[in-house]
Amino acid sequence: MVSRVIPVEAFDLVIIGGTGDLARRKILPALYQRFNAGQIGKKSQIIGAARGEMTSEAYRAFAEEAIREFLDKSDVKVRALKSFLKLLSYVTLDAKGETGWEELAGKMHSDRIRAIYFSVGPSLFGDLAKRLHKHGMAGEGTRLVVEKPFGRDLASAKELNQMLARHFDESQIYRIDHYLGKETVQNLMAVRFGNMLFEPLWNSQYVDHIQITVAESVGVGTRGGYYDRSGAMRDMVQNHLMQLLCLIAMEPPAKFDPDAVRDEKLKVIRALDPVEPDNIVRGQYEGDGERPGYRNQVESRDSTTETFVALKAHISNWRWAGTPFYLRTGKRLKDRASEIAIIFKDAPHSIFEEDGQRHNNILTIRLQPNEGIELGVTIKEPGPGGMRLVDVPLDMSFAEVLGPDEADFPDAYERLIMDVIRGNQTLFMRGDEVEAAWAWTDPIIAEWDGSGQAPEPYAPGSSGPESAMFLMHRDGRRWREIKP
Ligand code: NAD
């Protein structure tokens, strides 16, 4: 199978915060990869813009270093890299002052798509939107790419939306959730809506429950300052896990069109019941001999910020009434592994001799580390000796089915940045979706803040706090093992 790369028209892309960590680790390497693949041509320009003084020459050296550091050696082709660096230049720009804006405006082409990537904290969004407008860079053809976190509660998200809306139309705003750029997540939609097999069973009549796990083995590392003001609920559940839940739970959109998809996702969020306190567990990792505990990695030694959340959510609509969605995410867990599992109900009657085992089909969508989709089916154990049942995976591991080249997925940022240039908002969150998600998480966080209680400690390298296990056990269910 040969993948088709469709080149995009020449564009101008400005990375505001172009010298930051995200630009280094994700944005610049992603742009190089798309250039190397032939999708970005030599006439496009990429402008790094940030507060620090720097020449364009120095910025090109900065970009080269980032690309060499964060991509596999085999991806870095000397000639391609040299040509790519020619697209780059740098402008010293102050979001809060006048420095650099005229120079930036002078570099932009009015007849091209202009993508402005806000790779800075949200406290600068309002200033940036205002100055882009003032300097004639807000008109048609300009698209804003906005990073997470989009607010820290409903009120701040509304404020951000209003600040952007003063100068930009919603159709110009691309709120990134990089989980949506993952190939498997899009495959989830292809599997659901491109096959006859699954959709008739995709409801509470046939689905027992759903588990969404996003487990990290690392702790907060050097991001403690940011993380301690955020926590797992704001950093992961409100955005990434919520988006995954929406894609599983939404009704089939009439077409694969940005607003049709986002309308359906919004309906799901609005149909979520409030979470009762006994349906949610929050935890915080402890230290061991080798690794520090969370409280030793942040300023406050009695921090009550959660590094783990497990919860049971209910969606009150015809399709899902009675089918729980169990969500869990955390740091310093057993392994780095993210997956969605659809656990179907048992067959209504077994004609085989009972072996004491449950044999139900499970559809697993693995997001990382090995992207793939697996369907667990029950078959007869081969060989003589009667009818013994065994569960085996019908594995759709992309590397095996499509060959290594096809399964060498572009990073989520590559797809998402190209979607911005192409003007496709399907994989970006709309303002009302983000607000609805905060409206659901706000009362949970308020309850925690009000209680003053500390999260439950859990051992590093474990599957999370005891109470998270109980959340499942009391329903006669169990979490799937966290394994890559
Ligand atoms: P960073 O602190 O490493 O970089 C910030 C950048 O903003 C620097 O280039 C700095 O010069 C520039 N900047 C700061 N104030 C400025 C001003 N007044 N005018 C112009 N430029 C200014 O931050 P980061 O880690 O790159 O993160 C950027 C944004 O992306 C943040 O909102 C962060 O939450 C989000 N994000 C980061 C990551 C990541 O992996 N780093 C992941 C997801 C989201």
Which of these three, 132, 147, 162, is where a domain ends? Answer: 147
Say whether both 224 and 81 belong to one domain.
no
Say whether both 140 and 203 belong to one domain.
no
Say whether both 139 and 204 belong to one domain.
no
The Å distance, Cα 117 to ligand 1 centre, comes to 11
Beta bridge mates, 462 = 333
Average pLDDT score over residue span 318-327: 98
**What pLDDT shows up at residue 109?**
96
Core vs surface per residue 78-108: b (16+ CB within 10 A) or e: eebbeebbebbbbbbbebeeeebbeebbeeb
The Å distance, Cα 120 to ligand 1 centre, comes to 4
Q: Is the pLDDT of residue 356 over 90?
A: no
pLDDT tens, position by position, 270-285: 999 999 999 999 999 9
Give the type of residue at 235: D
Say whether both 271 and 191 belong to one domain.
yes
The reply to whether 295 falls in a domain is: yes
349 is catalytic: no
Atom of ligand 1 nearest to the CA of 50: 21
**What pLDDT shows up at residue 33?**
97
Average pLDDT score over residue span 414-419: 97
- CA–CA dist 109, 246 (Å, integer): 38
Yes or no: say if 293 and 331 are a contact pair by the CB < 8 Å rule: no
Query: Counting every residue, how long is the chain?
Result: 484
- CA geometry: angle 123, 157, 240, nearest 5 deg: 100
Annotated binding site: 17-24, 51, 148, 178, 182, 216, 235, 331
Say whether both 282 and 400 belong to one domain.
yes
Say whether both 104 and 230 belong to one domain.
no
The reply to whether 448 falls in a domain is: yes
CATH number of the domain to which 285 belongs: 3.30.360.10
Say whether both 135 and 259 belong to one domain.
no
The reply to whether 416 falls in a domain is: no
Count of the separate structural domains present in the chain: 2
**What pLDDT shows up at residue 72?**
94
**What pLDDT shows up at residue 401?**
63
Exposed, middle or buried, 385 (CB in 10 Å: 0-12/13-18/19+)? exposed
pLDDT, averaged across the chain: 94
Atom of ligand 1 nearest to the CA of 226: 34
**What pLDDT shows up at residue 381?**
86
The Å distance, Cα 237 to ligand 1 centre, comes to 22
Q: How confident is the model at residue 3 (pLDDT cuts 50, 70, 90)?
A: low
The reply to whether 164 falls in a domain is: no
The Å distance, Cα 16 to ligand 1 centre, comes to 8
Average pLDDT score over residue span 427-451: 97
Say whether both 102 and 184 belong to one domain.
no
Say whether both 122 and 216 belong to one domain.
no
Atom of ligand 1 nearest to the CA of 18: 9
Q: Is the pLDDT of residue 258 over 60?
A: yes
Q: Is the pLDDT of residue 314 over 90?
A: yes
Average pLDDT score over residue span 443-455: 94
The reply to whether 108 falls in a domain is: yes
Q: Is the pLDDT of residue 341 over 80?
A: yes
Q: Which residue among 15, 19, 21 is best mutated to probe the pocket of ligand 1, counting the most ligand atoms within 8 A of its Cβ?
A: 21
Say whether both 276 and 385 belong to one domain.
yes
Catalytic residue among 240, 314, 349, 359: 240
Which of these three, 100, 131, 147, is where a domain ends? Answer: 147
Say whether both 140 and 222 belong to one domain.
no
Answer whether the bond into residue 410 is a cis peptide, omega within 30°.
no
The reply to whether 131 falls in a domain is: yes
Give the type of residue at 1: M
Answer whether the bond into residue 369 is a cis peptide, omega within 30°.
yes
CATH number of the domain to which 85 belongs: 3.40.50.720
Q: How confident is the model at residue 304 (pLDDT cuts 50, 70, 90)?
A: very high
The Å distance, Cα 121 to ligand 1 centre, comes to 6
Count the Cβ atoms, other than its own, within 10 Å of residue 136: 12
Say whether both 118 and 267 belong to one domain.
no
Residue nearest to atom 15 of ligand 1 (CA): 51
Give the type of residue at 115: A
- CA–CA dist 247, 202 (Å, integer): 12
Annotated binding site for substrate: 178, 182, 216, 235, 331
**What pLDDT shows up at residue 396?**
67
DSSP run (H or E) holding 441: helix 431-451
Atom of ligand 1 nearest to the CA of 178: 43
Comparing 467 with 354, the larger pLDDT belongs to 467
Annotated binding site for NADP(+): 17-24, 51, 148
Domain of 127, in residue numbers? 11-147
The reply to whether 346 falls in a domain is: yes
**What pLDDT shows up at residue 387?**
82
Distance of CA 463 to the CA centre of its chain: 21
Which of these three, 147, 171, 205, is where a domain ends? Answer: 147
Yes or no: say if 139 and 168 are a contact pair by the CB < 8 Å rule: no
Most confident of 57-66, 222-231, 347-356, 371-380: 57-66
Q: How confident is the model at residue 372 (pLDDT cuts 50, 70, 90)?
A: confident
Q: Which residue among 15, 16, 22, 148 is best mutated to probe the pocket of ligand 1, counting the most ligand atoms within 8 A of its Cβ?
A: 22
pLDDT tens, position by position, 174-214: 999 999 998 888 888 999 999 999 999 999 999 999 999 99
Yes or no: say if 335 and 484 are a contact pair by the CB < 8 Å rule: yes
- CA–CA dist 138, 85 (Å, integer): 27
Pocket of ligand 1 (CB under 6 A): 17-23, 25, 50-52, 93-96, 119-121, 124, 147-149
**What pLDDT shows up at residue 250?**
97
